[in-house]
Amino acid sequence: MAKGNTTKITDELYGYMLAHNPPLDAVQRELVETTYARLPDHAGMQSAEEQAPLLAFLVRLVGARHVVEVGTFTGFSALAMAQALPADGRLIACDISEEWTAYGREAWAKAGVTDRIDLRIRPALDTLQAMPDVPHIDFAYLDADKDNYIAYWEELVPRMRPNGLIAVDNVLFQGKVIDPAATGPAAAIQRFNDHVKRDDRMDSVLLTVADGLTLSRKR
């Protein structure tokens, strides 16, 4: 199989890429640093730095006013997306941790976007299933427990408006998706990727962004 042109991402090249992307603002940078300082054992759950400007770009690209995030952690991605929304836009953020999302609440207040974010602390499937069962979501970001990815997907897709976009994180799962003996979350991602590939309701591409990012457009 020919790979075409490939570039090895060294630390230096990664720094160059970040330097040529929109920079994190002061609140975003503080939230990233706070997450790594206070939650070092869990900070790897935070979306990669380059994903913040990408998510903001996609929110603006689709003209989103109604965004849903499944998996908020300390609120970095929610912050970036909320800042990209118009004043009347709303983001429903789904998480189960008051402790972790408290960092996000503080950052959202500093950035002046608290009124754009509706944080719902309960199992995400409960939140999704309680939403109107009609196409109304413009953009969704999925970055939560991998075992439920397919279940989340099946709740989101019918609620996406035509040309609405879903972004899904960790779809390469540290390269473990190619292991035929994969178990646990890696095996769940394998099943999810196969599920998305077969879904003819969506146009999807899997990209090597961060830990793998799938973008799917509602047909």
Q: What is the 3-state secondary structure (H, E, C) of 173-199?
A: HHHHHHCCCCCHHHHHHHHHHHHHHHC
pLDDT of residue 6: 77
Q: In sequence order, which residues have a C-beta less than 8 Å from that of residue 134 and are 6 or more positions away?
A: 159
pLDDT of residue 4: 66
Contact 58, 167 (CB under 8 A): yes
CATH classification (class only), 11-218: alpha beta
* Whole-angstrom distance, CA of residue 191 vs CA of residue 177: 9
pLDDT of residue 2: 62
Contact 169, 141 (CB under 8 A): yes
Grouping H, G, I as helix, E, B as strand and the rest as coil, residue 162 is strand
Contact 73, 45 (CB under 8 A): yes
pLDDT of residue 7: 85
pLDDT of residue 78: 98
Tens of pLDDT along the chain (219 residues) come to 667 667 888 999 999 999 999 999 999 999 999 999 999 999 999 999 999 999 999 999 999 999 999 999 999 999 999 999 999 999 999 999 999 999 999 999 999 999 999 999 999 999 999 999 999 999 999 999 999 999 999 999 999 999 999 999 999 999 999 999 999 999 999 999 999 999 999 999 999 999 999 999 999
* Whole-angstrom distance, CA of residue 76 vs CA of residue 11: 22
Q: Smallest Cα–Cα separation from 119: which of 160, 71, 153?
A: 71
